[in-house]
């Protein structure tokens, strides 16, 4: 690979905290540790790197005439249901290639009901669900209990907690009303999946995509609490990660690759899978812009279980992006 001039887009969590946003509001954003780690790997590979920042900084850079051979994009954005797509869309307008998925994929994946509908349309197993936009719609929910509730457009398990597991109409009304008021967005209500939960790491694009590995998420928490925001914060105490057994890995890998290709995801990411009451794996959600914190993000943790160095993960992501860009130019 020739040496590249690479721009690095990101949203630094510390900057938003200084501006008055809360820890939960900024949960999806990146730390200096992540940005520095990616930059270090790219420079070690011989590339030149320029830190850009988020969408507003990118806009200013472009207006000043700056261009790059490639942008390594981990910008999550903060506002709107298309927040993860903002940087890729702007880069598309300027015909600058970038890592990870295109705007349409990022919008569809962030909206959990849309991702589930697309998966279901491709014949992929997922829990039955409905979407509530107003409190008066709660009485019309016909799904069998128990149910699981969460905001429709959040990441990093924001809005997920012990309250998400509901067993009757009273709990449903209380939980959904609270989520609607707090997050100001629709609430996804699903049939509860009682089986084990996994996350599937994927590298590559289209037919070149392959499963990196499958990690089982074992919670030291009450049944039904789920892989919540609080549990992720306290992962050293609340969560044990382990490689899935061969049968589970095979089943979850097959499902995850189907979802990955159905949503046109690129380069690297994760697909979350949970087993239903029939003992079959079902799609939960997909993260085509997975966290890359070398210490506590799920994808790097999975790499650790596979004895894959963090630098090798970043190099694989870069190689995937360069490969598909070259193929598209032919």
pLDDT at 290: 95
pLDDT band at residue 118 under the 50/70/90 scheme: very high
Q: What is the mean pLDDT of residues 95-117?
A: 97
Q: Check whether 328 has a pLDDT greater than 90.
A: no
User: Could you tell me if 93 and 233 lie in one domain?
Assistant: no
Is 274 among the domain residues? yes
Q: What is the mean pLDDT of residues 161-187?
A: 95
Q: What is the mean pLDDT of residues 199-212?
A: 97
Positive or negative torsion for Cα 38, 40, 41, 47? positive
pLDDT at 157: 82
In whole angstroms, give the CA distance from residue 303 to residue 306.
5
What burial class does residue 170 get, using C-beta atoms within 10 Å of its C-beta: 0-12 exposed, 13-18 middle, 19+ buried? exposed
* Model pTM score: 0.93
Among 159, 191, 223, the domain-final residue is 191
Is 104 among the domain residues? no
pLDDT band at residue 146 under the 50/70/90 scheme: very high
Tens-digit pLDDT profile for residues 44-55: 999 999 999 999
Among 152, 175, 191, the domain-final residue is 191
pLDDT at 330: 41
Domain that holds residue 11: 5-98
CATH number at residue 31: 3.40.50
User: Could you tell me if 269 and 170 lie in one domain?
Assistant: no
Q: How many domains does the chain have?
A: 3
User: Could you tell me if 220 and 271 lie in one domain?
Assistant: yes
In whole angstroms, give the CA distance from residue 98 to residue 36.
18
Among 141, 162, 191, the domain-final residue is 191
Cβ proximity of 33 and 78 under 8 Å: no
Asked if the bond preceding 146 is cis, omega within 30° of 0, the reply is yes
- Nearest Cα neighbor of 297 from 35, 111, 16, 20 is 35
User: Could you tell me if 138 and 48 lie in one domain?
Assistant: no
In whole angstroms, give the CA distance from residue 282 to residue 275.
6
User: Could you tell me if 116 and 70 lie in one domain?
Assistant: no
Percent of the chain with pLDDT over 70: 95
User: Could you tell me if 133 and 113 lie in one domain?
Assistant: no
Percent of the chain with pLDDT over 90: 84
């Amino acid at each position: 690979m020739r040496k590249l001039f690479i721009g690095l887009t990101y949203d630094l969590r510390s900057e938003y905290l200084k501006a008055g946003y809360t820890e939960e509001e900024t949960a999806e954003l990146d730390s200096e540790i992540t940005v520095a780690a990616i930059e270090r790997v790219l420079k070690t590979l011989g590339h030149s790197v320029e830190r850009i920042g988020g969408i507003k900084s990118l806009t200013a850079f472009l207006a000043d005439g700056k261009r790059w051979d490639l942008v390594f994009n981990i910008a999550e954005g903060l506002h709107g249901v298309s927040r993860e797509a903002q940087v890729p869309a702007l880069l598309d307008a300027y015909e600058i290639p970038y890592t990870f998925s295109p705007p349409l994929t990022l919008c569809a994946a962030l909206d959990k009901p849309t991702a589930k509908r697309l998966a279901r349309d491709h014949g992929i197993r997922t829990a039955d669900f409905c979407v509530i936009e107003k409190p008066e719609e709660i009485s019309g929910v016909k799904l069998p209990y128990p149910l699981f509730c969460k905001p429709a457009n959040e990441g990093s398990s924001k809005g997920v907690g012990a309250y998400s597991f509901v067993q009757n109409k009273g709990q449903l009304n209380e939980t959904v009303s609270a989520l609607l008021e707090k997050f100001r967005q629709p609430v996804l209500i699903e049939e509860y999946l009682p089986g084990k939960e996994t996350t599937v790491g994927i590298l590559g694009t289209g037919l070149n995509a392959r499963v990196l590995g499958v990690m089982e998420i074992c919670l030291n928490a009450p049944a039904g609490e789920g892989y919540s925001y609080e549990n992720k914060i306290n992962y050293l105490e609340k969560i044990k990660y382990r490689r899935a057994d061969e049968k589970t890995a095979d089943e979850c890998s097959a499902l995850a690759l189907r979802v990955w290709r159905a949503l046109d995801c690129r380069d690297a990411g994760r697909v979350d899978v949970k087993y239903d009451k029939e003992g079959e794996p079902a799609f939960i959600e997909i993260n085509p812009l997975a966290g890359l914190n070398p210490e506590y993000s799920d994808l790097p943790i999975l790499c650790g279980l596979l004895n894959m160095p963090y630098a090798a993960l970043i190099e694989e992501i870069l190689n995937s992006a360069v490969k598909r860009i070259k193929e598209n130019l032919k």
